[in-house]
Amino acid sequence: MPPAEQRDEVEMLWLMLLIRRFEERASQQYQAQKIGGFCHLYIGQEAVVTGAIAAIRDDDYLITAYRDHAHALARGTTANACMAELFGKETGCARGLGGSMHFFDKAHHMYGGHAIVGAHVPLACGLAFACTYRNEDRLTLCFFGDGAINQGAFHEALNLAALYKLPIIFICENNLFAMGTSVERSTSLKEIVDRAEGYDIPAAVVDGMNFREVRDKIAETVASIRKDQHSAFIEARTYRYRGHSMSDPASYRTKEQLEKYRLDDPITRLRAQLTREGKLTNEKFDELDKRAKETALASVKFAEESPEPLLEKLYNYTYAP
């Protein structure tokens, strides 16, 4: 992936396509029982992480929850390493020891992949604390879902971040459901974004289905933080097309709701914007989509052919030397 300043919108559209095609393949491979455990798909939410990535530097830090395949791909982890991780293979981005919910990639500043809801939000404070401690101007993007905002760890972390003026952007990917429980059934506030006010953290709402809106708001926030270090909170209103995980038929929501969001698809939307502006032809789009599909398919082949982690190495990753 090119550095941030060169990330043009066509490249970002390709990234969204890659995320979607990758996850469609993952879904298929899960059904074929090549992938075990839990598998949470991001399909529908692509504009959020892609918009965010388009606004930050490669050396900024990123940490997220368990719906993390897209975040790793957006950071630059290869589709091969991601699919191999889902297959539990030695070539995976966590050597097959993490699985779907625990993607890590140190070289690309991807700090997980964390599966206890809300528990990684304090870790984001630590990443940002380290930057401040070392007088670096990096910042940390911390993603989490609407389900995390009622966890104690989330509240403790926001207070610490505001208190210590840590350079973090907290990004709540509000997809309306914490597993099967809707926001109105879980949260006393009407607007999630108002949570930030209680910690004196500046906050904004963005349309999480709109790449440009996400990117521009985050870019503006990034500039503000780099100028005068502080924390910020962004609620990205988005939607996942699939269930909470592969085993969830999502019977708690209506077909009409799903259709409404599908019509507002982030990929279709950016494609239309670019086409209208003469920056993208249908041929170019088809070529991008073909490349995304091929990359996803190749990752399955790579994962299938990759070796399992060695049994003899079982004890090698419990304690660091």
Partner 1 sequence: MTSEMREITYRQALNEALAEELERDPNVFLMGEEVAEYNGAYKVSQGLLERFGPKRIIDTPISENGFAGLGVGAAMVGLRPIIEFMTFSFSFVAFDQVVNNAPNMFTMSGGQFNIPITFRGPNGPAHQLGATHSHATECLYANVPGLKVCAPATPRDAKGLLKTAVRDNNPVLVLESELLYSSKGMIEPAEIELLIPLGQAEIKREGSDVTVICYAQTVPLALTVAQQLEEEEISVEVLDLRSIKPLDERAIYSSVAKTHRVVIVEQDRPFCGVGAEVCYRIQKNIFDQLDAPIARVSQEDVPMPYNERLEHAVLPNAEKLIAAVKKVCYA
318 is a site residue for partner 1 (CB under 8 A): yes
Give whichever of 26 and 157 is closer to partner 1, judged by the CB atom: 157
Q: Determine, following the binding rule CB under 8 A, whether residue 159 of this chain makes contact with partner 1.
A: yes
Residue count, binding to partner 1 (CB under 8 A): 44
Nearer CB in complex with partner 1: 38/241: 38
The residue within the footprint of partner 1, chosen from 38, 59, 78, 102 (CB under 8 A), is 102
Asked if residue 170 binds partner 1 (CB under 8 A), the reply is no
Q: Which residue has the tokens 């599908």?
A: 262
Name the minimum Å distance from CB 252 to partner 1: 27
Q: Which residues contact 302 (CB under 8 A, 6 or more apart)?
A: 80, 83, 84, 91
Stretch that binds partner 1, among 3-11, 14-22, 152-160, 279-287 (CB under 8 A): 152-160
Question: Per-residue b/e over 106-141, b at no fewer than 16 CB within 10 Å?
Answer: eebbbbbbbbebbbbbbbbbbbbbebeeeeeebbbb
How far CA 261 is from CA of 44, 45, 125, in Å, comes to: 8, 10, 33
Quick one: tokens of 139? 């910042």
Handedness of CA 238, 242, 243, 244 (dihedral sign): negative
Nearer to partner 1, 137 or 156 (CB): 156
Residue 17 or 83: the one with the smaller Cβ distance to partner 1 is: 83
Give the chain's end-to-end CA distance (angstroms, integer).
33
199 binds partner 1 (CB under 8 A): no
Q: Which of 98, 145, 167, 266 binds partner 1 (CB under 8 A)?
A: 98
Stretch that binds partner 1, among 155-163, 189-197, 226-234, 238-246 (CB under 8 A): 155-163
| Residue from the set 18, 43, 93, 300 that interacts with partner 1 by CB under 8 A | 93
Q: How far is residue 179's CA from residue 23's CA, in Å, rounded to a whole number?
A: 18
Indicate the residue among 119 and 258 with the shorter CB distance to partner 1.
Answer: 119
The verdict on 319 binding partner 1 (CB under 8 A) reads yes
Supply the DSSP string of 187-236, one letter for each residue.
Answer: -SSS-GGGGGGGGT--EEEEETT-HHHHHHHHHHHHHHHHHS---EEEEE
* Cβ count within 10 A of residue 293: 17
Min CB(229)–partner 1 separation in Å: 14
Binding mask 111-150 for partner 1 (x = CB under 8 A): xxxx-x--xxxxxxxxxxxx--x-----------------
**CB-CB contact of 302 with 91 (8 Å):** yes
Contact 10, 274 (CB under 8 A): yes
Contacts with partner 1, residue ranges (CB under 8 A): 61, 63, 92-98, 102, 104-106, 111-114, 116, 119-130, 133, 152-153, 156-157, 159-160, 163, 316-321
